[in-house]
Structure 1
Amino acid sequence: MKNNDLNLPEFSQLTVKEVKKFTSELKVKKELPKIIEILNQDSRKGVQKIAARLERKIKKQQKIRAKWEQMNQLETELAAEGYQVIVGLDEAGRGPLAGPVVAAAVVLDPEAKIYGLDDSKKLSKKKREILFSKIKARAKVGIGQASSSEIDKYNIREATFVAMKRAVKDLLPELDQNPELLLVDGNAVIPNLTVEQKAVINGDADVNAIAAASIIAKVTRDNIIFEYAEKFPQYNFKSNKGYGTAEHIAALEKYGSSPIHRKSFGRVPE
């Protein structure tokens, strides 16, 4: 027996466990409020708790969507000014003692919203990887990196700019026309580029395109360092990701540096 036009089961004839199983698979869609209304009419406290959980699910989704709109404000304003190809740029790996610095350049499709974007450092590993796949599928992406030897050659700031330039170059074949504006996370733009740029402080937490770039850069760099972890197991890169943890420093003192360590960084031996 079905309940109304939504083709729902007759919840009153189901056990609380069966109701829980059915609702656990529900997505946040327009029929969900009606389902909650039906469940709230059930006298069983267990069913009413399920209804309350579904209400929290809706509120959480509304909050995520509101955050996306808030983080899209700058891009919306720029689009209204006539900018059509807006690139978000960010990097990962400025601070570690080993491995490359990786940058990403992302152009989002305004018709393919990716909810949940945020500064990659605020997201769990699982969430980053889910969003990484969504960004790769729905957006235009370019990736660039500068090696540890290039960091030693140029310094970390200049090497970061090198990685960003490579990310933009990697992005170009994906685009139908050249970028019109680069939104660069931080307080400085990339030197020696002819394309218009805008530095955005805390952009990875405030602007969707930059947040997407931060996720792409972070996951890409993590994957690179995990490969190095297999090659240089003595430094436990899988855990510290190249950062200067006490364990990492102790390993450097015991084994010396590897070919991927940044020799110009103070705590790294020659």
Structure 2
Amino acid sequence: MSAERREELEQKIKKEATAWAVGLVNHKEIDQINILQATKKAMLKAVRGLVVKPDYLLLDALSIDTNIPQESVVHGDRECAAIAAASIIAKTYRDRIMELMDEFYPVYGFKENKGYGTARHLEALRLYGPSLVHRKSFLSNYS
């Protein structure tokens, strides 16, 4: 799905959804507790941030530590509209953060690569070293 289409859908989802929220964890937390645990932490923060408290959670292939009944759906973003909607909101939010980081660290091309390990991104890491917002765990995948 193109970024433009995701942004269109994001606006529709936010307009029509009963409630939505985003949970954030920073790069330091990800390095401290690992990407899986950080993802679960962000999901739990999002659930706790909802204005309308859910009776039941549908989660994309994970479970989180809450007493709210939940179901983990493998490939949930393909199988379930609610999970796909949550994925779109999370992705567009993260993309905007990376675009903001591009203003502070333009040599890495975050606006275009959104933090993924593209050739330009890896070359910038080789030439300039990591920025203050790079995850050490990301760097270990490309060293």
CA distance in 2, matches of 1:147, 1:268: 20
Amino acid at match of 2:101: Y
**TM-score with structure 2 setting the length:** 0.93
SS of alignment partner, residue 143 of structure 1: coil
Do 1:249 and 1:267's aligned partners in 2 also have CA atoms closer than 8 Å?
no
The alignment status of 1:218 with 2:75, answered yes or no, reads no
Residue identity over aligned pairs, in percent, reads 47
Counterpart pick for 1:144 among 23, 30, 37: 23
Amino acid at match of 1:144: G
Counterpart pick for 2:107 among 189, 209, 234: 234
- 1:181 paired residue number: 56
Shift of 1:133: 0.6
The alignment status of 1:203 with 2:102, answered yes or no, reads no
Amino acid at match of 2:9: L
Point out the structure with the larger strand share: 1
CA distance in 1, matches of 2:5, 2:141: 32
- 1:165 paired residue number: 44
CA distance in 2, matches of 1:201, 1:267: 25
Shift of 1:206: 1.4
Shift of 1:181: 1.0
Do 1:183 and 1:210's aligned partners in 2 also have CA atoms closer than 8 Å?
yes
Unaligned 5+ segments in structure 2 are none
Point out the structure with the larger helix share: 2
The alignment status of 1:132 with 2:6, answered yes or no, reads no
Shift of 1:217: 0.6
CA distance in 2, matches of 1:161, 1:217: 13
SS of alignment partner, residue 23 of structure 2: strand
Amino acid at match of 1:180: D
- Cα deviation 1:10-55 (Å, max 9, x = unaligned): xxxxxxxxxxxxxxxxxxxxxxxxxxxxxxxxxxxxxxxxxxxxxx
Pairing 1:34-113 to 2, within 5 Å after superposition? none
Shift of 1:230: 0.8
CA distance in 1, matches of 2:76, 2:40: 16
Shift of 1:267: 3.9
Shift of 1:264: 2.4
Do 1:146 and 1:162's aligned partners in 2 also have CA atoms closer than 8 Å?
yes
Unaligned 5+ segments in structure 1 are 1-122
CA distance in 1, matches of 2:78, 2:25: 24
RMSD of equivalent CA atoms: 1.3
CA distance in 1, matches of 2:142, 2:78: 31
Amino acid at match of 1:134: K
Q: How many residues align?
A: 141
Do 1:252 and 1:268's aligned partners in 2 also have CA atoms closer than 8 Å?
no
- Cα deviation 1:191-245 (Å, max 9, x = unaligned): x211111100111011110011011011111111000011100101111110111
Which entry has the higher C-alpha Rg, 1 or 2? 1
